Amino acid sequence: MRRLEKKGQLKISFGVIVSIILIVIFIMFSFFVIQKFLGVKNSIQLGQIKDDLQKDVDRVWKSSQGSEKKSYFVPNQIRLICFADFLSGERGEYLEIYDDLKFNFFNKENLFFYPSESAEGFGGVAIENLNIEKITEEKNPSCLKNNNGIVEMTIKKDFNENLVTVTE
């Protein structure tokens, strides 16, 4: 006698199963590569901010006096750009992030991106020719907020000052 075949039984060949698995692996790999490219884009953008800010600070520092209002494009994951002096105490409105920023301080860093996990290796950087003591006189850390991908600051140096200050 012949066996009765059950209705609803699905026969999938080995080749189809392997193809489905390969498609899933390819899609997962594609998402991984796209995510890495976005991370590289953020790293490049943060490196550009550091370089542009250093150039702007140097330009004002070389003059006898000056003031420039500048805007920098920042990745949306970065909520704050902070100037901090870890050789003096914490004070002001951003006390809760002081220890997080200090984690990225090794010796000369004075500019920090918060949250540092989103900074793609740029948790803290050193900007030369800044009067960090004056910048952090009232608030340490002194932070600037990211408003829709833009951080604005005023870079200034008064007559007879040796270093540059940064304010909102």
- The per-residue pLDDT string of the chain (168 residues; one tens digit each, 9 = 90 and over) reads 555 555 555 677 888 888 889 999 999 988 888 877 666 777 788 888 899 999 999 999 999 899 999 999 998 889 999 999 998 888 888 889 998 888 888 888 999 999 888 777 777 899 999 999 999 999 999 999 999 999 999 999 998 899 999 988
Establish how many alpha carbons lie within 13 A of residue 110's alpha carbon, considering only the half-sphere containing its beta carbon. Answer: 19
**91, 138 contact by CB (below 8 A):** yes
Give the per-residue pLDDT at 10: 64
Look-up of token digits 């984690």: 103
Question: Is the pTM higher than 0.95?
Answer: no
Q: Which of 168, 164, 90 is nearest to 134 (CA)?
A: 164
Q: What is the pLDDT of residue 5?
A: 56
Q: What is the reported pLDDT for 4?
A: 55
DSSP 119-132: GTT-SEE--TTB-H
Q: How many other β-carbons are positioned within 10 Å of the β-carbon of residue 117?
A: 10
